[in-house]
Amino acid sequence: MEDRSHKVLLALVMLFLFAVIVLQYVCPGTECQLLRLRALSPAAAADPYRAEDETPARFVPRFNFSAGDLLRRVDFNIKGDDLIVFLHIQKTGGTTFGRHLVRNIQLEQPCECRAGQKKCTCHRPGKRETWLFSRFSTGWSCGLHADWTELTNCVPSVVDSKKEVRLRPSRNFYYITILRDPVSRYLSEWRHVQRGATWKASLHVCDGRSPTTEELPSCYTGDDWSGCSLQEFMDCPYNLANNRQVRMLSDLSLVGCYNLSVMPEEQRNKVLLDSAKENLKRMAFFGLTEFQRKTQYLFEKTFNMNFISPFTQYNSTRASSVEIDEQTQRRIEALNFLDMELYDYAKDLFLQRYQYMRQKEHQEARRKRQEQRKILRAKQALLREQGENSSSTDYIGNVERWRR
């Protein structure tokens, strides 16, 4: 009897697993992923996009944005000439997101990723031309971790370098990026540098040239800065880790590139911050490392492209394992004061966009339900009318027969 119950239990488990696998293939999009998550986790059934960190469930906006700033839906034509350009800022989770772009999107012609190769081939359907400009598709074609200034000047010429000017198509370039909490990002970069990373291959091209050693001095004298302490990392005044996100998202030509003598420091900082905010707002899409599921949702709604598997929120990272006191925390925030302000702005815009898109989605769903109910009521009314006409016809026919 006990052996029989074990067999029944095993059969039920196998049946459940088979159903999950079938659902994965039959319906791989986000909506079905939510159904799977709800089935496996009843506690999350209320809303799969509930706060992924300590952010209150009810978000209170701080900045005023227009409907045009909040609504992000681009008509991305993957079969045409449109191009998605990924601006990859160091230690923001860009590597993970970049892999999602080449391995996890449901496409008519998926990217071809071969074992042992760093780059994937992401061709448009029926064409030998890429639709994605990123580290994992085209490599560092505009330089290692190229910034906004480099990409906007480099990408158009790189993708059409083999074509005559008159034959080059009129493309839409859709820029995207990922941001991260500045303190966590800074600590993560320090740990990365401590292990030997240098990014010496970065070009930092601005106004047609790379900066001189006087404009951009090095923080170390050897081959790398491995083993540096956090104090040493913070003490270097030339450290590009300071306010990296603002620098990489702004138009550096507005401030004379890396020449600090062009304008006063306070004016330079304001121009850089304003430029970074404007460029970020005008980008087709940006996500936040701290909100993986919302990042996935907004990308899918923006580009009308669905990921196969849901994003995972990793709260345990190398940066999170670093314990710092309050004084060090304040020092890092001071060194990254521009990034702190940009991140507050970005987080507010990101959550407002998410809230706005969800409201639009609910309104559209409500409109469809109302239309369906209207159609159903019309059908019911038509059936009742046909039934009444049929009854009236039968009654008149019976009266005629009685008269005979």
Q: For 7-59, how does the pLDDT look when each residue is reduced to its tens digit (9 = 90+)?
A: 767 777 677 777 666 555 545 444 444 444 444 444 444 565 665 654 556 78
- Give dist(CA 177, CA 249) in Å, integer: 9
Sign of CA dihedral 358, 180, 339, 50: positive
Give the residue carrying structure tokens 């991260």.
180
β-strand pairing of 285-288 with 83-87: unpaired
- Give dist(CA 11, CA 6) in Å, integer: 9
The one catalytic residue among 6, 88, 123, 145: 145
Q: Which residues of the chain have pLDDT under 70?
A: 1-6, 8, 13, 19-57, 162-168, 316, 318, 320, 391-404
Give the model's pLDDT for residue 387. Answer: 80
Tokens (6 digits) for 103: 């391995």
Q: What is residue 45's three-state secondary structure? A: coil
Instruction: Note the pTM of the prediction, 2 decimals.
Output: 0.81
Give the model's pLDDT for residue 385. Answer: 83
User: Angle at Cα 258 formed by Cα 257 and Cα 261, nearest 5°?
Assistant: 100
E strands of 7-106, at which residues? Answer: 83-87
Give the model's pLDDT for residue 264. Answer: 98
Q: Are 137 and 120 in contact (CB under 8 A)?
A: yes
- For 50-366, CATH number out of 3.90.550, 3.40.50, 1.10.1330, 3.30.70 equals 3.40.50
| Adjacency order of strands within the sheet including 83-87 | 132-133, 83-87, 173-179, 285-288
DSSP 88: -
Q: What is the dihedral of CA 367, 359, 53, 34, to 10 degrees?
A: 20
Give the 3-state DSSP-derived string for 308-354, with helices as H, strands as E and coil as C. Answer: CCCCCCCCCCCCCCCCCCHHHHHHHHHHCHHHHHHHHHHHHHHHHHH
Tokens (6 digits) for 215: 């404009």
- For the chain, state the CA radius of gyration: 28
Give the model's pLDDT for residue 47. Answer: 61
Please confirm, yes or no, whether 145 is among the known catalytic residues: yes
Give the model's pLDDT for residue 45. Answer: 44
Q: What is residue 254's three-state secondary structure? A: helix
Q: What is residue 179's three-state secondary structure? A: strand
